[in-house]
Structures are given as C-alpha cells and as structure tokens.
Amino acid sequence: MFTALEKQLLNDYQQGMPLVSEPYSEIAREINLKGFSVTEQEIIDSLSSLKERGMISRVGPVFKPNSIGVSTLAAIAVPANRVDEVANIVSAFSQVNHNYEREHQFNLWFVVTASSQNEVEQVLEAIELQAGLSVMNLPMEQDYHIDLGFPLWC
C-alpha cells in the first residue's frame, strides 16, 4: 500500500518541514542520507500520489489559531439526504480549511479561516444563504495544542 519512500516521508515530515526556498530538494537530501537515492521530483511525485490516493489531505504549515488571520469552528444541522450537497457548498469556499460529518444533530462541522472577523462572518452568512440552513458559529475561547504527530512505522 505504501512504498518505502512514502513511509519515510510520512514518518519524518509530519512536522519539521524544512523552512528553505526549495524544501523538497532539502527533503531529498535528508532522505538520501538515510540510504535512499531520490530526487526532488520523486519527493514531489510521492507526495502528490499520497494526496491523490487520499492518504494525506495537504502539505503545508499549521499556525497557532488566530495568530495569522481569524478563524472559527462552525456547525450545521443538515438533513441526512443533503449532507453531501451541503458539504460540497461548504468546501467550495477557499476560507474553509476542512469539514467533516459527525453523529450528532449538528452533523456537519467545519473551520473557517480568513483575514478578518468581518470576512469570517461574511463566509458564514454566504454558506447559510447557499445551503438554506443556519450555521452555528463556535469561536474559540481558549486554545489547546494537541500534537497529532506520531511514528507510523518503526
């Protein structure tokens, strides 16, 4: 299911992405020190393949909430027969980081990140208008850092 290179990438780069102008070249250099012989393009291709197969959702930074821009958690009570439709509406907004279904009356949850509180509110209003459903806005009161990185293969 995973190549040796994909396993190495998933283990080593959940965190600590090189902060350089050519990070994939640096990753290739670092991985080659561990006995591989790969190019920058092979790193890019492997990450693209992982994304296409749904094994990863994105490669990019994670910032402390509200340190760059403004964000909020939101939820919608969506009728079961409209979950896919409404999820697609929500996902169409570039300000939506991700959305997911939960087993609850409020069954579709998502995070909106924007440059200002006003923009967050505009996105929530637009989602309400397009979906025809009320959005519950749940702004963060206190942040907690949970490190979700863990070794996948030993």
Residue 85, phi then psi, degrees to nearest 5:
-60, -50
Residue 36, phi then psi, degrees to nearest 5:
-90, 170
The residues, any chain, with a CB within 8 Å of residue 148's CB and separated by 6 or more, are 14
Q: What architecture is domain 70-138?
A: 2-Layer Sandwich (3.30)
Domains of the chain by residue range: 4-52, 70-138
pLDDT in tens, 5-30: 999 999 999 888 899 999 999 999 99
Summarize the confidence of residues 24-41 as an average pLDDT: 96
- Cα→Cα distances 136→37, 60, 89, 114, Å: 50, 28, 16, 17
pTM, two decimals, is: 0.62
**pLDDT category, 68, cuts 50, 70, 90?**
confident
